[in-house]
Structure formats: C-alpha cells, structure tokens
Structure 1
C-alpha cells in the first residue's frame, strides 16, 4: 500500500506534507521505533487535515487509526441520547479510532466513541487493516498479550458476572426461605392448636347441652357465641400495660365466680374483647351451675377464631411472599414488557428483607403519579438489588435506606437509592463503574455489581446512572426513559 491508498481512509483533506523520521520521533507512540519502521509509517501513512467538527462517530465502522499532529480534539460517548464528553486535549501524539483493529473479526469493529476536532487539526492517518498488520508484525508478543488480556477479561467478566448472579440469587433465596418459614411455622402451630380447641369445644358443648339448659337458654348461649365472634373484629388495640391490667381484672372476676384456671383463660378472653360486664350476661343466661362450662365453651370459640385468623394471616403472608418472588424473578412473563417501577421496588425489598439489619430504617418516597415504562423487569430488579446491597454494606448495622422515585427532565423517570453511610472516597469515585473494581474485602465482592447495573441501565434501557456522595448522604440515581425504543 502507498501513501496515496490512505487518502480515502480518514475523510479529511490530504495534505502534501511528507512525514519525516524526526517528526515521527516527537510522537510518544513512535519515539522508540527503528528507522526502518519509521520509513514504513512514512510510506503507509498520510497526513489529513480536519476542519473544526466531527472526525468520526461512535458506532460507525472503524476504518482508520488517528494520531494527532496539531490542533485539539474532544472525545465523547453517547449516553441517554446526549453526547457526554469524556476527554479534551491538545497533546500531540494522542491517538484514537480503530485501536482494536489487531483483534480482527474476533470482535465487531466499530468506533467505541466519537472524535471531534475542536479547531482545525492535522492527523497521521493509517487504515485499520494497515494498523492491524503493523501491530501483528512489529509487536507479536505485545499483540498476543493484549489479545489475551482483552478476551481473558471479557471471559472472566462473563463467568464472574454469572457467578455473582447465582450468589445473589442464593442469598435472596435463603432470605426468602427464612421469610417463608416464619408464617409457615406459625400456620402449622395454629393448625395443631386449632384441632385441640375444636375437640375441647365439642366436649364442653356436650356438657352444657345434656339437658341442663332448656332450649331458650341454649339459644341465648348460641347468640352469645355469635356475639363473642363479632367482638374479636372490634376488639380494641391495647398496649402491653393495658392488656396486663385487663387480664388481671378478668382473672379476678373468674376467681370470684369459682372458675378454675382463671389465669389460663383470661388472656384468650381479653384478646377476644371480652370484659366482666359481658361475662355477667353469660352468667345471667346459663346460671351459676353451668357458668364454668359455658365460659370455657365460649373461650374455645374465641380461641378457635383467633387461631383461624392467625392461619389466615400466615397463609396471606406466604401468598404475598410467593407473589413478590414471581414479581422479582419475572419467570412467568416476557423479558421485555410494560412495568410499574414501584411494584418492582416493592418486590425487591421483600426479597431482600432478611438482609436488612434491624438498625436500618427503610424510607420510601414514591411519586405514585408516575406512568409505567417499557423495560426488562427482571434485569431492573437486579439493578435495585445491587444498589440496595451496596447501600446496606456502606451503612453496616444502622442507618437509613431511602428509595425515591420521580420525574426527570424530558420523558424520563428516576429511581434513587440513598444511604447514610460513610460516602464514596473522591479518589476512587471515577473507578466505581469499572469491572472488577471493589472496595469490599477479598472474597466479599466481585466488583461487577455497578458494572452490570450500568450496562443494564445504559446499554439495554438507554438510561443513565448518576452518583452524588458525601459522608452521610450517598445517592445513586437511575434515570430511565418511559419508552427506551423512542430514543
């Protein structure tokens, strides 16, 4: 290839200026090259001038390698439909463009960013294929090391990322199992006790219905039973002190009327909203001889209702946990769908409940007027999980976890995860989204949580993640378009 072949590469205006060894050696990339290598660059490269404006655009086929000879440039990435400048420099010798051409067709050869000339600028331009051949012929060992590092890190990132997802799933599953075990055990205990209470209620009913009570009295007692059941629903919520006082008062009444085991049945009667005045009605209905059997029968009735209520609460809790798990995993739904951010956050909190220390308060500041958005629900749940997990780690055993939602400028919504931890050290803040970078002790973090979150939000949803941090107030804000496909 001659220098004239390169004139079609860069897109700028070819200059008649000839490269020289002396000029090339002023560029840090080439200062250590041998004379023969410099002559090869002189033969295959070309100088092109770009007026102030675009040099190449992110995502276009990577056809050229550029080295700045004079002028100034800015480099940018597209984030949420906007160009975010990542670098601006006038340092001679900086390079950009087809920097991974040496990998050939092993990866998609497109420009990873956009390059713009701030002022009229001159570049040494090499076609990507020429640059790739130079790398392979001149630096075979370095090329193999770079190639190994690139694919090794990408492979490691995939493997560790999958492992992190499995570890997170295992942790959440353990938490869910713990959460399910409590209501399940309560339901089992209540069911066992209920069987005994029903048997006792049948026995006491036989005692009071063996002819001691006439039909009218028995009917009145059944009416009192129905009234007792209704009293449970309207029973006042008592403080522990009030409950203790009520039990003492009721036990005293029972003892005064010669009922055995007064202190055993008083708690059930109080829980059912029974007071001495109501028991007087029972005594008036059945008489003194049948009072103990009637009271115990009514106590069994109340206990049975309370136990059925406990079973109902336990089963409802289990059903809610299962629903939250389905919402979190999205196993029965299409990956891309219309989702309610608040439902996703709620499901994530349920799944992570066992990981939240007792000393951490959870504050939810939700804008309930937000519309639903289009997105990958299960992957968004992974983002919330990563951010909440990091917040909990930053706070330790005590603090405040705050979840906020709201509207962002334009057609976007935000989800913000805030914590009152120690904050992010300014020295490491630029690195927090790097793969494998972590501040956690060895073995406790993979350094992929924020990297995965960033790729889910930015690459898959065309959104953005922003962070602000100071001691006692760190906030990660996830910005999502209502319809990512509209960008």
Structure 2
C-alpha cells in the first residue's frame, strides 16, 4: 500500500475538510501527518484521547463496552469518516478520553492530527461555530440534568405518597389499639377491686392466675381460622355462655375465638372455679385476652412501621456511600415494599431469588431507581391485575435480574424505541418517556451492563445484567 503525501488537494477530497481554504489545509498538513496503520487495535475506550483520525483508505470498526464485552457499533470503509478526540475544542471542561474503541480490519491509511491541535484549529477558525457547539453541548447536558432531577423528584413524590399511605395504616391501628387497651386496663383495675373484695377464695384466685398465664401463651399461638370456621366456633361459644348463664355471651365469643380458645377450654375454666364466680372469671379472662390481642396488634403495627422505615432507608441508601458492595435481593425487596401501595392487591408478586448470587459492587441507590422504573412499567402494563415475577440468577461473573409481567406486551412497532428519551406509550400526562432512558444509562453507561427486553402478550421480560465486580470503583478525593 502506497502512503500518499499530505497535501491540500488530498485533504480537500475528504468531505470534512472540503470547505477549508488553502492556507487552512496547509496548516493541517503541517500539524498532522498521513499514517498507515496495520490491522489491529488503534485505541481503547477510556484511554486519553490524544489523536483525531480521518480514514483515507481501508476499513475501521467502532465498538463500545457493554457488560464487559466489546460490542461492535459500526464497521465502515467510507472515505473521510473520522473518529477519536473530536471534543478537544471543549478543552479540560470535559474528560478528554476516547468514548469508544477503534480498530482496523486491514492495513489502512489515515490522516492523523494531534487532538489538542485540532481543538486549537477549531477555536481559531470557527469561533462562532465553537460557541454554538458549546451552547448545544452544555445545554443538552444541563437539560438532561434538570429533566433527570425532575424524573427523580416525580418518582420520589409518587413513592412518598405510597409510603405515607403505608405508614398511616399501621400507625392508625397502633393508636386505636392503644386507646382500646387503656380502656381494657381500666376494666381490669375494676375487676381487681372486685377480687380484693373477697368474691374469690384463695384456691380460685390461684387457679384464675394460672389460667390467665395460660391464656397469654395460647393467644401467642392462636391459629388463623377461615371465616366459616370462625363463625361456627363463635356460635358454639355463644351457646356455651348461654348454657352457663353468662350474660351477653355473643359479645364475648369473638374475642375467645380470636385467641384460639374453644368450648373444651371453657369447660376447664368451669371445672376450676365455683359456679358463683364463673361469670366474673370469664370476664376477667376476657380482659386478659383482649389486652394480649391489643398488645399483639400494637407490636405488629410498630414492627410494620419499622420495616417500612428500614425499607425506605435501604431504598434511598440514606447515610451510605454511593458506591458500595450490596445484596441485590435487599435492594429489590426494599423497592417492592416502597411500591407496595402502587402494586396493589390484584397483582401477585413472585420472587425467584438465586441464593447463590453473591453481593455486587454497584451504585445501589441508582439501581433502586432502575428497579422502580421497571416495576412501575410492569404494574402499569398489567392494569392492576396479573403476576409480577422478580427473578435473579448468576451468569458467570455477572448478576442477572429479570422483571417480568403478564400484561398485554409491547407492540413490535415500538419495542425498538422504548429506550429512546421522551418516548412513551402511556397517555399524555401519565409518563415522561425518561424512565427507561435513565435506566439504560444507569445499567449500561454507569455499570457497564446490559438492559434488554423481550415481549409477547402475557409475557414481557426486562433483563438487567451487571458485573458482580461492578464498574471500576471510583477513587476518593
């Protein structure tokens, strides 16, 4: 292959330079050179962008890293195509690194120019164009930043509303149970006054206390009955109370049933105390049962609140480093809890977690945003009814997370566009079209992973693949 000499005529034959003056072309020839590059790698993604290349003859291949693999983006032999450090005109205001990799498949001839000299030439020859390009470049960055922030705020607002609703239910239950418990404790004090008056002899009192302790243990292990079984047991207890002349037995029956007690247990109480104090003993035990049930309700409610707060902290990664080693399953669980109100009762959530999947290195809060976007889309696709499946597996040194729904599917004529910014299939006002674009940039751009989708009616699957070792850990300043 004969390597030509650099000349204004040669450079003018390349479409990039065809409108330059002879003096500008001469200047480029002095600043750069014509080079033959043998088959192989020219530069790698992420390396300092030192040169700008214009193809004169041969073939080049451009590629980008995705999930640890070098993915071919374009392959061309078109004369005049260029690559390399073309953003040099922006100087050190942006990272001057190669944004992809380039290799040649056959010995090729390039015009090669030092990137810094290219930047100087562009700024000197085209000052107005530089200002326009700078405005477009930074304006796009600023717009993307503002819109990303708004998308996050919209998601946060939606999650906050759901979290508030989820917190309100157990909080209100705890308040109600506390108020009722106060009444029951007051009733127990009244009963203690009656006991002190001498209605119960010492043996009956000892027996009653023993039964009281037994009740507390029984309540803690009370089974959950079907509505039909509970109704049948309430009828049987109400009849027993009537047979033993205990007033308003129908009102006491539900409490004893809820505690898991039956007529056989009541017969033990009847045999342990005199008939004259049986009703007082039953009502004393009723107060004990109600108090235990109310304390269980308070404990369940406050545990639920604690769980929700813990999930919110896990989801937001509050007080944690942005980049850390995390359990993917904990991230997924916290997202499902945060979206619990939105998922609703009509959607069954199935979790198929691989217990062998190790912790991964990741930007945890941003991955939670990915799960939020994908789960939210899945829920919308099912219109409140269906099955949401979250599946994790290990694929060598990568973690795979699938979020599947049984919705109507993504039409074939739009599936190739769903990761485009501002593209949405939702009605106007219901979607920004940025959720999947942001997810793509987090998974592919920031974690060097993959985000793919397959869809058929009744089976849509978004597959996220990220390296277990994660992207290169950022250095601390």
Q: TM-score range by the shorter chain?
A: 0.7 to 0.9
Counterpart selection for 2:464 from 453, 464, 478: 478
Contact preservation (8 Å) 1:20, 1:42 = no
Counterpart selection for 1:186 from 141, 148, 173: 173
Matched position secondary structure for 2:205:
helix
For 2:443, the equivalent position in structure 1 comes to 457
Return 187-196 or 134-143, whichever deviates more: 134-143
Matched, 1:37 2:21: yes
CA distance in 2 between partners of 1:13 and 1:98 (Å): 26
Contact preservation (8 Å) 2:8, 2:22 = no
CA distance in 2 between partners of 1:90 and 1:394 (Å): 44
Give TM-score scaled by structure 1 length.
0.86
CA distance in 2 between partners of 1:407 and 1:208 (Å): 66
For 2:193, the equivalent position in structure 1 comes to 206
Q: Deviations over 1:135-191 (max 9, x none)?
A: 456655554333222111101111222222222222222222211111111111111
Change (3 A) 1:276 1:203: same
Contact preservation (8 Å) 1:337, 1:375 = yes
**1:356 CA displacement:** 0.9
Contact preservation (8 Å) 2:405, 2:461 = yes
CA distance in 1 between partners of 2:23 and 2:472 (Å): 50
Give TM-score scaled by structure 2 length.
0.88
Counterpart selection for 2:35 from 29, 48, 53: 48
For 2:303, the equivalent position in structure 1 comes to 316
Matches within 5 A, 1:149-160: 149-160=136-147
Contact preservation (8 Å) 2:362, 2:471 = no
Q: Deviations over 1:280-333 (max 9, x none)?
A: 333333333323222211111111111111111111111212222222222233
CA distance in 2 between partners of 1:108 and 1:228 (Å): 71
What CA RMSD, in Å, does the superposition of the two structures yield over aligned residues?
Answer: 2.9
CA distance in 1 between partners of 2:6 and 2:298 (Å): 88
**1:243 CA displacement:** 0.7
Counterpart selection for 2:347 from 336, 339, 360: 360
Change (3 A) 1:96 1:198: same
CA distance in 2 between partners of 1:389 and 1:348 (Å): 10
CA distance in 1 between partners of 2:385 and 2:95 (Å): 47
Matched, 1:15 2:7: no
Change (3 A) 1:301 1:148: same
Matched position secondary structure for 1:20:
helix
**1:128 CA displacement:** 3.5
Where do 5+ consecutive residues of structure 2 fail to align? none
Contact preservation (8 Å) 1:208, 1:294 = no
For 1:386, the equivalent position in structure 2 comes to 373
Matches within 5 A, 1:425-440: 425-440=411-426
CA distance in 1 between partners of 2:2 and 2:336 (Å): 58
For 2:322, the equivalent position in structure 1 comes to 335
Aligned length: 470
Change (3 A) 1:125 1:430: farther
CA distance in 2 between partners of 1:451 and 1:217 (Å): 74
For 2:398, the equivalent position in structure 1 comes to 412
For 2:83, the equivalent position in structure 1 comes to 96
**1:50 CA displacement:** 2.6
CA distance in 2 between partners of 1:241 and 1:168 (Å): 43
Where do 5+ consecutive residues of structure 1 fail to align? 1-11
For 1:344, the equivalent position in structure 2 comes to 331
For 1:87, the equivalent position in structure 2 comes to 74
For 1:272, the equivalent position in structure 2 comes to 259
**1:30 CA displacement:** 5.5
**1:14 CA displacement:** 4.9
Change (3 A) 1:334 1:54: closer
Matches within 5 A, 1:291-310: 291-310=278-297
Q: Deviations over 1:351-388 (max 9, x none)?
A: 12122133222111001122222333323222222222
Matched position secondary structure for 2:63:
strand
**1:437 CA displacement:** 4.2
Matched position secondary structure for 2:155:
helix
Q: Deviations over 1:399-434 (max 9, x none)?
A: 22211111113x222222222334444554454444
Change (3 A) 1:92 1:426: farther
CA distance in 2 between partners of 1:334 and 1:108 (Å): 24
Q: Deviations over 1:453-472 (max 9, x none)?
A: 34433444443333333333
Counterpart selection for 2:108 from 121, 132, 153: 121
